[in-house]
Every structure is written in C-alpha cells, then in structure tokens.
Structure 1
Amino acid sequence: MISKSTIDTIFNTARVEEVIGDFVQLKRAGSNFKGLSPFSEERTPSFVVSPAKQIWKDFSTGKGGNVVSFVMEIEQFSYPEALRWLTKRYNIEIEDDVDFSAEQVEAQKTKESLYLLTDVAKNFFVQQLNETEEGQMIGLSYFKERGFTNEIIKKFELGYSPNAWCAFADYAEKKGYSKEIIQASGLVSYKEDGKRFDKFRDRVIFPIYSFSGRPIGFGGRILRNDIKAAKYLNSPENEIYHKSNTLYGLFQSKQAILKNDQCFLVEGYTDVLSMHQAGIENVVASSGTALTKEQIRIIKRLTQNIVIMYDGDPAGIKASFRGIDLILEQELNVKVLLFPEGEDPDSFARKHSASEISAYIKEKATDFIKFKANIFLDEAKNDPAKKSELIREIINSIAMIPNIIQRELYIMETAKIMDIREEVLFKALAQRLNNTPSDQYTTISPDANNPSKLKIVATKNQNEVVNQHLIVERDIIKMIMQFGNLKVQLKDDQNNLYETTVNEEIVNQFLHNELTLSHAPYQRIIDLVIEGLEQGELRTGEYFSRSEDYELSQLATSLMLDKYSISENWKEKQGIHVTNIEESVEKNLFNLLLRYKTIFVENEIKILMDQSKSTELLDEDRTTIFSKIMELTKIKNFLNAHLDRII
C-alpha cells in the first residue's frame, strides 16, 4: 500500500530524536540523548537516542531500532500503521496509496478497524455538535453555559450524540462497518431481535485519545434530569481502549508537561478543560477511575514531578492517599493540593487567572508527608494511639520509595514534623521493609552497628558463564554494523597490501574458509550482506536498522549502540590492552577473524578428543585422530601467535 520511495522519504525526513521527544523526556548526553525507558520501571536513565545514527536503544529492556520501530513499540502499531503515523506527523504525501474501501475495512484486523471506526465516530459527534440544530441548542449550549470557549471546544474536539435510538449505528453501517466491529467498539448495542441503540445517545461527548493522538474511546455526560441513567458513561474496554493505561487530556498536555517538567493530576474531563482554558495546560485526568500504576508510568515518561489536585472533601482526600503510595513507588516527586471547601479544579479555574492559579499552587501544594501529617494530626490531637497509627501510615508510604537516599531524607522530615527521634523511625522503616519481599538483586536491612542506617545486601549471582564463541560471533556482526562500509588496507599471504572494505573482507574470509556462524540470526545477517555485495550494495547498520524485520532491526540497533568495543570482554580477561576501535579497525578486523578461526579449530580439537575416548575405537583409528589433533594444534598455535597470545 505504501511505495518504497515513500518509505525512503519517511526515513530521510523523520527525526528519531523529535519523535521520541514527544513521548520521553530526553536530555543531552554528549552526542546522544538519554532518558528514562518508556517500556520499563527503571530508576536510572538507560534509554539512548543517537541523532547521528537515527536509532534508539533501551538498555533496560534490550529493545531498540529506528524511528518506525519506536512508534510500533510505543503505540503497538503494525509496520504500515507506524509508517502512516509518521506521514501525518511530517506531512508526507503517500505515493501509490489508495483509500480504504468498506470491504477493505472489514478485512482489516479488529484493532485497526476499531481505530478507524472510533475516528469516524469522533468526527460524527463533532459534526452533530456544530452543524445540527439539536446539537447547537443542547450540546453546544451546555458547553457555552459552562464557560468553555470555541477554542477549547475545538482543541478537545468535543461533540454531541443526538437523542435518537440509532443515529450513529445507521451512520456507521452506511459507511460499511460490520455489526461485529460496531458492537466491539462499545458505541452501539445490538439485541437478539435485531434492534440496536446508540449507547451515548443524548449526551455531550468527550473524545479520549492515545498518547499519539488517535481517538480510542469516549466519555459521555447526560444533560437531562428526568430519566434514570448514569451521569457519566465511558467506552467499555476493547482492543484499543484500556482505562488503566489512559489519561484524559494527555495528548493535548504532553508538550506543556515536558516544558514545565511538572504534571497536575485531576479527576474529571471538565477539570482538564477549565485548567487549559485558564492557561494551565500541563494537566491530565484519571477520568474518575482510581489512579493506576500504568497511568503513573505514562506520566513518568514526561516528568518526575506530580501534583495531585483533588476536591477538599473526605472523598477527595482518600483518593489522594490511594494515589500517593503508587506515585512514590515509581520514584516520582509528589505533592498534594486541596482546593477550598466547595471548590474543585474546574470551578476554581473558571474563577481565577493563570497567574492566580499558579500562585495558589505554589503556596498551597504540600509535600505528601506534611499533607498526611496535617490531616491526621487534627484527628489524633493528644491521643498517643492515633498518633502512632499516623506514624505507621507515613512509614508505609516512605517504604514504597525504592531510592534509599530519598527514604532517609523523608524519615528526617517526618522526625521533625512528628517530634520523634530519627532512630525510632529508621527502626520502624526497617521492620516494614523486612516484611516486603526483596527483589532479585538486593535486599535492604538495618545495619547491626547503627540501627538508624540501612544497608544493601547484594543477592545477584555474579558467576556468569560466558560463551566465548558467541561473543566473537557477535563482534563480527558488530563490526559489520558499525564499520561495514569502511575501507581498510590489509596484507595478503605474500605480505602485499590490498584495499577492501570491512564487509568484503569478512565475506571473503567466510566463503574461502567455508565458515558459518552458529547463531542463526547472525548467520542470516552474513547471508544478507553477501546478497548485498552481489547486488553492488554495502549493507551496514543503517540498512539493518531500517529493516521491516523486527528481530534484525533490534539486533542492528543493539550492536550499533553497544557501549563496549570489539571483543573488549575477552581481551580484558586475557590482560590485553583495549584500544579505541575507531583508531584501529584494521587491526581489530584482522584479530577478530583470526580469533574466530582459532575458536573454530579449538572446537574441532575438542570434538576429536571426545572421539578418541571411545573404547570401541581401533588403534589405527585412534592414531589417525591423534594425528589430526596434532595438526590442528599447530594451526591453533600459529593463529594464537598472530593474536599475541601466550599458550
């Protein structure tokens, strides 16, 4: 559906650092950028983006690739879906592409069909709000009465579902969508007798978007009071909409969150709208659902700082307590802001300017310890039992923090607020931590010599078995990825200089000596390099990182951004000085190929030695085997001598 020339244009136009910067907070690190992985719960940034090579690597998960593979990973797109997303992002015209017909839509996978249908529904609701008499008189009037401007209504693409039993169902079916897809979207209910009805009828509509801006679901608010129905209705869970992974307003707010390095977390749709209209745009909503770990991880991609904004009533306070521990567990900085009694973010934002709201946040946003302490101290007063319970509550929250230094600082702060000795709090924290299962790598316990301190006990097994054969094979492929097109000068058997490229030398040596790599993906790369040379093409890391084959793309990126030089591990173990590979590619290529031949010969010797131990061998056969072993040993010694190794 997408021509090769269009795909080439996408790769030549799309900047990996720009695209990833929309999802991850990146900071300059030399010639690269670094940030926290969007795919794991890491504490130290190990997500690397290389603008020069136009690739990325997540060292915490092993994932990596090019700009297309990142979009595939972050949005769970297919390869064509990711390409289309990038054409929209960079306004690239697609050549040799055709519009989807109704038949093609039905043939698409359920997931893509749901994306398409949800986008159609969003446009339908927007059209109903702005271009029909009913929508303007009921839906648009409601938004206007709430004080929302045309700009905000357009920015969030608010809509209206008419008061008709099957207006959208009729519209979607006429567009060619199947009953199964329409029903899977959760927008329409079908009865056994054939009747159907729109679930969101007679409601104003709040479209919900994915991180990248694709509509994935809807929230609907009913406006009438004379019927029994839920005030708010959300799309049901389906292939593209998962409530626990979704934050309302994130798509419209992510740039402001990155810019301000702070995220305000509210509860409802209108809270987000009013804050945006007031000029505070770094705000998202949990959409009335309990805050989840997945939602916090999404925010963590953009900032380390969260301010929870909930109503000042008991329900709002309890909601903030639930969220605090989850946020602390993700090592984010969390503050809590309660609004005056009778106010919420929506009403407060409509009454105040951006500067007034910012001043209020700066003055009233409270550290989570002070917030909990202030709430509970009023209840505890002079009751020691209640005060003890409060301290346990705070200790439980501090125990959620993985970072030891942060925990110690919070313990010191708690000691001041609660007027209690730090030693007592450290003991309580140690007891709490000892009841928590330790992870694979460390366990945390109190220091016997100083109970006020905590110590880390390593539990990870350090005895790693290294397969030298695979290391060298990996280094050969790494050489292809990093320096495959580099011209080198080498000497032949007669000591004459000849010029070639890294790729050509590797291929010639493999073909001449009939060598193969034991690891199938590595051998596949060798085969593709040979195929490229036959076509007059030098295939290096850039070629493989752009591969539609996910495994090859991942492998290429990993090797292109490998922070270790060729064979560094085994060289260090042999006591060999490691030089900068870019200054000695020729020497490293020569040694690498010799090293592989040496391992090949060593394996042959081992096989023969095992054969010689057989009790069923005839003496003459055993003599032949020993003769071969001696011959191979001479070859091995010769190769090792050229590697400057002592045998």
Structure 2
Amino acid sequence: MIDPKTVSRILDTAQIVDVVSDFVTLRRRGANYVGLCPFHDEKTGSFVVSPAKGIFKCFGCGKAGGPVHFIMEHEQLDYPGALRYLAKKYGIEIVEKELSAEEKQAQSERESLFAVNDWAARYFIDTLNNTEEGRSVGISYFRERGFTDETIRKFGLGYCPSEGSAMCRAALAHGFKAEFIEKTGVGLRRDNGAWYDRFRGRVIFPVHTLSGKVVAFGGRVLEKNDKTAKYVNSPESEIYSKSHELYGIYFAKQSIVKADRCFLVEGYTDVISMHQAGVTNVVASSGTSLTEGQIRLIHRFTPNITVLYDGDNAGIKASVRGIDMLLAEGMNVKVVLLPDGEDPDSYARGHNASDFIRFIDENQTDFIHFKVKLLKGEVGTDPIKRAQLVQDVVRSIALMPDNITRMVYTKECAEMLDMDEGTLANEVRRVHDAKRTEEMKRAGYNPDNSRKRTTDPAYRHVGQGAGVQPPVQAREAGGENASPPDEGDIPHQTDGISQQPELVNEAFAARSPFYSHERNIIQEVVRHGGQVMCYEEGDDGAAVPLTVGRYVIEELAELRGEMGCMVHDAVYARILDEMAEHTAEVGFDTARYFTGHTDPDISCEAANLVSEQYQLSRIFTKEDEYTGDPNDKKDMEIYLRHKEEKERKELFDVVVKVVFEYKSEIVESKNKALLAEMREAQAAGDMPRVFEIIREQQTLKEISKQLGAHCGHRVLAR
C-alpha cells in the first residue's frame, strides 16, 4: 500500500501538461493545449489538455481524466502502478513493501510479463558485464561496432549465455511462473518439457516502450551459421505488438519534438550509432515493414520524416509501400540516399553530428520527386512502362489527405513527366475519391445519415436534454478531420442540442428517461460539490453553510426508499455515495477528487463532466467588471462581495433547478405508469381500481406543484 500522504503529494505534484507531453506533442491553443490522441488513430488533433482543470479530454474517442488516469490508460497500469510511475517521474520516494506469495499470485498478467522482461533485461546486462563469456563475446562484438561503454549502458545492451537453458533456470529460481516466462518468449519448452533459452549465445537489444519500459528483445547471433536466423525477436504478447513499437522511440522522442523531424532507419545498430554520433532524433522499424501504428506513433511528435537508405535500389523499391503509408497519414516525407557502400550505421561511425546533418540537408529529396526520378530511369521509351509509372505516381499523390498538397504535387509531377496537368489532376482526383469512398464503406458510413453510428448492438445513441453535453464516445460524420474547438476544451451547446452523440449502455438507456437529468445533477456535484450554494438556519438559529453536495444528497435521500437508489446509473450512484462521505467538508475539491479517482469509470466520467464548456457566472457580464480604483480596498471588497453573491445565487438557481427537473421527471414517469395501469383497469372493468388511480394522480399533481417550493424552501441567505 502507498501511504495516503504520499498519494496526495503525487497528485499535487503531477502536472497534466507535463505528464502528457512525455507522450504527445502539444500545441498551445488559448488557455489549453491540443495534440494527436494517443488512444485512437487520427490525423488532426482532437485531444485537448486543460492545465487549469488538470485534465485531458479526447473529442474523438471520449477518453478523459487526470494525470493518473492518463498513465493508467497509456501504460496499461492499475492505479497503484500509475502512482508509482508518476512518483518515479517526479522523484517522490515510495517505500515498496515485499509482495507476499498471495499478492504475487494476484498480479495482473501484464504486470507479470513486464516484471519478467525487466528482470531479463537486468540479467542480460549482468551476463554481458560480469561473466567471462559475456565480456569475451558480447563486449568484444559491441567494441567492434564502435559502441562506447556509455552507449552500451544507455541502450541496455546485453548478452545471453550460450549454455542452453541457463537463463530459464535463473528465471524459475527467481520465482517467475513458467507461463509468463514462455509468454514473454525469453524461455521456451520442448515437447519433452525441457527448457531452452530463446536468445542463447546472442547479443541483446532491448526494445523500450514510449515510457521506457522493456517490452521485448532482439537477439543477434554472432557465429556465422546458414541454418540460424541472424536475428531472433520476442514473440507478440499481451504487452508487445511489433506493429505498434519503434526501436529507439523512448530515447528519441524529445529530440524529435525539438528538431521537428524524425529520421527513419532500418536496424538497431543504425539507431545506436547515430545516437553515439549525436544524431538522436532517429528510430528504426527493426527490419519489419512500416505499419500504420508505427507511423502514427511518429506523427504524435512530428509530421516531418526523413527516410535514410543505403545504395541498395532493391531495398528502396521494397520500402515504397511503407512510404506511401506515410503519405496517407499526412506526413511530409523526405528521402536520403547514402553514398555507395554506406548505411546509417557505418556513415554515423565515420562522421560527427554536424557532418551527418549537413549531408542529409544537402542531399534529401522530396519523396514524390525521388520516386519519379527512381522509376523514370527504368521506363525508357516503353509506353506501357511509362503508363505504369504515371499510375504509380498518381496513387502516391492521391494518398495525401490535404487537397492543396495534392494540387502542388500534381502540378510539379506533370512537368516532370511531361504530361497535361489537367489530365493528371483528374486522375489524381478519381483515385483519391475512389479511395475515400472505399474507406467510408469499410467504416460502415451511410451517406444518407449525418452521423456514423456504432455497429455494436450493446450500445446506442441517446439524445440529451438541453444544456447537457454528454461524454463523447462517437465521432461526427466528419470523423478524424473534425477540428476541436478553438477556445476552451469542449464544444458548447447550440440551441440546447448536444453537438455530439453519446454511446451509453443500451440496457440503461432503453429503460430510463432519467439519464439527462441525473447527469445534470452529477455534473454540479463533481464541479461544485464542496462549494456553498446558500445558508440555512441551524438548530441554534445560526446560519449554516449548505454545500451543493449536501443539498443534493439530502434532497435525493428520500428516493432511495422509493426506488432503492438515488439515481439509476451505476457510476453516478457511486459518485453520490462517495460524495455523501464528504458532505460536511466545506471547500472539498470534488473536481480533483473525482477526476483523480482510483476507479477509472468514475475518473473518466468526472473528467468528461468537468471538461465541458461552462462559465459559472454567465450573468456576470463585462458590464459588471470592476471599473473603480484598484487601490481603493473598501470599494474593491464591496465589488468582490457583490460578485461572490451573484455567483452563489446562480449556483443556487442551477442546482435547485436540476434537482427539481429530476424529481419532476420521476413524478411524470409515475403518472405515465398510472395511466397505463388505468387503461388496463378500465378494460378489465375494475372501477374501484380506476377511482384509486385517479386519487393517486391527484396526489401526484399536488406533489408536482409543491416540488419547486420544496426544493428551494431552505434558503436563508443567498
């Protein structure tokens, strides 16, 4: 367990912009920051961070929360794990207790897999540096590559002993479960149950996540053997998907942001040698074909990428598909062809950072021009090959999402290919439109419907009442190209209609007419639960402050007896239950408490509620701004008191109104049920029951009249 005081210190220290910036490039927009969402695929930023509120919110996928919840989501950690992550980031000491056998048993699979990898990384490093075999084989190899001790330490390079199962035995002796050793891939079992090490006799290159956790390994064999693969990599697992990882991204992310450019190479040693030379904004696809996930990972930090090739034309042609994928993601792609006989590794070992960068800047070529030049040399006078060249170039240009960019490239390529610009432009437009139509069909978009709806039968869109903006779980038809608001961190209401639909559980939505009313109430509780909305007369006649939280809890308490609950939604019910424990705390920071909650359902919903466009003093206009002498303290005090009273009055009016509307909806719902029951009684000829229902309806009518006064009668002084 982490001490509560330590938890508070972590929450007080962690700054949302600082935390998110480790993973997302943020641009300031007004009082907030925007960037590309790390939780779903998008090309334009719908991810907003509010430093004032201490939360993030994505208007594309609906993810929201505070610093702890961001780390929980991004790093797939539980609440204590996220706290430990932030404590490490900010240098806050946490005394970890030794886990018992039962606690180890209860660890999640992801945590267990990461634990095995963390241990394995340290094992490889220890073997490299502290065994005769490691020093004579592993260190010797790295020295031949020109790696310094500092570089070896920085990248966590290691060595696995050649003896068949030494590592597996060590892992089992350390207490790791066999299933996790196998799932990470560091150890394997033969059909007879005997263990053997996957990376035996290989130098090790750990693969780090964006946050620096070891997620996988690459092992290079040192002995020449045609029957043995040169490289062996960790298998995919619960924590590792090679299509979403880039070698070196952890070490490069800050440099990429600073340079606003990323260099893409192929292998581990390319990255390491370039780092050692001083060129640190570099990542590698690790010999695999570039994937959309990897491209989007780069795009979160910069839209500018330079691909470095050696002189192998065959290798260049094989990678063209990956370049086209970069274009499709809106990246600005440059290509550099290194001198004959050189690759990024060898060239970096022979040059310093300034020489390397100078060569790149002087020799980089826009990819489309590079592609035309590359393929044009093979065409000659063959008209069929020439047509294929044009079609190939058209496909690449058509992938670009920006219309102006496509127009510019079309014009330039028409000149390079000696073609009519209009003809080329028409073909680019045709291919682009066909691609877009196909994408929309795959996404299930119905052009006759203004919204793209989910196909999951467990969810449905629910219309909201005026003044309520639901948490965004679905996109408008504009999809990822829809821009977030310019000001504030959420879209406001237009004519009382929610601008975006919400996906809620169908079971609740189908049976409850109360959702929008409950949400209004919980919104006020989360935002203002600890604020004083008015004063009521105590038993001794003194004025007692009445907070929003206490008012709501006391007003809705009677419903628990009638309905079995104060609200129907399970998350909202948990929020009210916890609010009830803090009703006596005037000034209790409900927004911080709930957005930083250990329950991700509560923290996410609280962040949604807090993040919506809202200005408490809507009636406090510019005409009410202080225009007197700022040095006149007495006059200033009168002004501030007047302002506070107006704000408290508005808060009172809003809270009383939402509670009144909720109770009125309950009365109306009961009235509808009585009408249905009356029809059944009339059809059955049960007149005594009909008259009984009429009396109940009259009672409900009277209750409805009294509700307004009942909700507001407690005020003594606003």
Question: Same-fold call, TM > 0.5?
Answer: yes
Deviation at 1:587, TM superposition (A): 2.5
**For 1:551-596, what per-residue CA distance to the aligned partner results, in whole angstroms no more than 9, with x for missing partners?**
1111111101113579x9xxxxxxxxxxx98993232223222322
Task: Look up the match of 1:162.
Answer: 161
Change (3 A) 1:102 1:217: farther
1:501-580 matches, within 5 Å, as 501-511=547-557, 516-533=566-583, 538=588, 540-563=590-613
3-state SS of the aligned residue for 1:221? strand
Paired with 1:582 and 1:487, the residues of 2 have a C-alpha distance of 7
Residue 534 (structure 2) pairs with residue 489 (structure 1): yes
2:18 alignment partner in structure 1: 18
610, 616, 626: which one pairs with 2:684?
616
Deviations 1:183-219 (A, max 9, x none): 3332233334454332322222111111111112211
> Distance between the aligned counterparts of 1:413 and 1:99, measured in 2?
66
Letter in 2 for 1:334: V
Once the two structures are TM-superposed, the CA of residue 48 in structure 1 deviates from its matched residue by 1.9
CA contact (8 A) 2:257 2:302 kept: yes
Within a 5 Å distance, the mapping from 1:453-472 to structure 2 comes to 459-461=449-451, 466-468=463-465, 469-472=514-517
Q: Which amino acid aligns with 1:508?
A: E
For residues 581 and 110 of structure 2, the distance between their equivalents in structure 1, rounded to whole angstroms, comes to 36
Tell me the SS of whatever aligns to 1:248. coil
Q: How does 1:181-580 map to 2 (within 5 A)?
A: 181-193=180-192, 195-225=194-224, 228-436=227-435, 438=437, 459-461=449-451, 466-468=463-465, 469-489=514-534, 499-511=545-557, 516-533=566-583, 538=588, 540-563=590-613
Name the structure 2 match of 1:76: 76
In the alignment, which residue of structure 2 is the partner of 1:572? Answer: none
| Deviation for aligned residue 1:421 | 3.3
CA shift, 1:25, in A, is 0.6
Superposed CA offset, 1:299-356 (max 9, x none)? 1222222222222312321243121122222222222222222221111112222112
Quote the residue 2:470 is aligned against: none
The question of 1:585 aligning with 2:651 is answered yes
Q: Deviations over 1:270-318 (max 9, x none)?
A: 1001111111101011111111111112112222222222223123212
Q: Kindly tell me: are residues 428 and 220 of structure 1, through their superposed partners in 2, closer, same or farther at Cα, counting changes over 3 Å?
A: same
2:503 counterpart residue number: none
Unaligned residue ranges in structure 2 (runs of 5+): 454-460, 466-513, 619-645, 712-718
Q: Aligned-pair distance for 1:490?
A: 6.6
Higher RCO (Cα < 8 Å, 6 or more apart): 2
Given that 2:273 and 2:348 are in contact with CA atoms closer than 8 Å, whether structure 1 keeps it comes out as yes
Give per-residue Cα distances to partners, 1:50-86, cap 9 Å, x unaligned.
2233222222111112222211211212223222222
Aligned residues: 616
Alpha-carbon RMSD across the aligned residues, in angstroms, is 3.4
Residue pair 1:57, 1:557 contacting (<8 A) in 2 also = yes
8 A Cα contact 2:532 2:586, kept in partner: no
1:438-468, Cα deviation, whole Å (9 max, x unpaired)? 379799xxxxxxxxxxxx9784249976243
The 1:324–1:518 alpha-carbon spacing in structure 2 relative to 1, beyond 3 Å, is same
**Shift, 1:125, TM fit:** 1.7
Q: Confirm or deny: 8 A CA contact 1:102 1:175 kept in the other structure.
A: no
Alignment of 1:50-65 (within 5 A): 50-65=50-65
Three-state SS of the structure 1 residue aligned to 2:546 is strand
**Which whole-Å CA distance do the structure 2 matches of 1:161 and 1:392 have between them?**
49
Percent sequence identity is 41
Match of 2:476 in 1: none
Q: 2: distance between equivalents of 1:102 and 1:610? A: 59
Shift of 1:156: 0.6
- Could you say if the C-alpha distance between residues 133 and 505 of structure 1 is closer, same or farther in structure 2, counting changes exceeding 3 Å? same
1:82-111, Cα deviation, whole Å (9 max, x unpaired): 22222322222224x323478865664443
CA shift at 1:423, angstroms? 2.8
| Partner-residue secondary structure (3-state), 1:207 | strand
What amino acid does structure 1 have at the position aligned with 2:355?
E
Cα 1:640–1:218 shift into 2, 3 Å? same
Instruction: After TM superposition, give the deviation of residue 239 of structure 1 in Å.
Output: 2.7
- Does the aligned pair in 2 maintain the 1:169–1:198 contact within 8 Å? yes
SS class of match (2:581): helix
Instruction: Show CA shifts across 1:4-57 (max 9, x none).
Output: 333223222222221211101112223322211001122332212222332222
After TM superposition, the structure 1 stretch with the greater mean CA deviation from structure 2, 545-554 or 595-604, is: 595-604
Give me the whole-angstrom Cα distance separating, in 2, the residues matched to 1:621 and 1:226: 92
Q: Which runs of 5+ in 1 are unaligned?
A: 444-455, 569-579
What secondary structure sits across from 2:319 in the alignment? Answer: helix
> Helix, strand or coil for the counterpart of 1:296?
helix
SS in 2 for 1:41: coil
Distance in 2 separating the partners of 1:503 and 1:423: 66
Question: Aligned with 2:583: secondary structure?
Answer: helix
Match of 1:596 among 657, 662, 669: 662
CA displacement at 1:618 relative to structure 2:
4.1
C-alpha spacing 1:167/1:624, structure 2 compared with 1 (3 Å)? closer
Distance 1:100 1:521, change over 3 A: closer
- Would the aligned equivalents of 1:489 and 1:586 in 2 still touch at CA under 8 Å? yes
Q: Which residue of 2 aligns with 1:447?
A: none
- Cα distance, 1:417 vs. partner? 3.1
User: What one-letter code is carried by the residue in structure 1 that aligns with 2:548?
Assistant: V
2:217 equivalent to 1:149: no
In 2, the alpha carbon distance for the partners of 1:90 and 1:382 equals: 65
Give distance in 1, aligned partners of 2:380 and 2:685. 91
Segment of structure 1 superposing worse, 42-51 or 596-605? 596-605
Contact 1:328 1:401 survives alignment (8 Å)? yes
Deviates further, 465-474 or 32-41: 465-474
State the one-letter code of the partner of 2:406.
R
- Tell me which amino acid in the other structure corresponds to 1:472: H
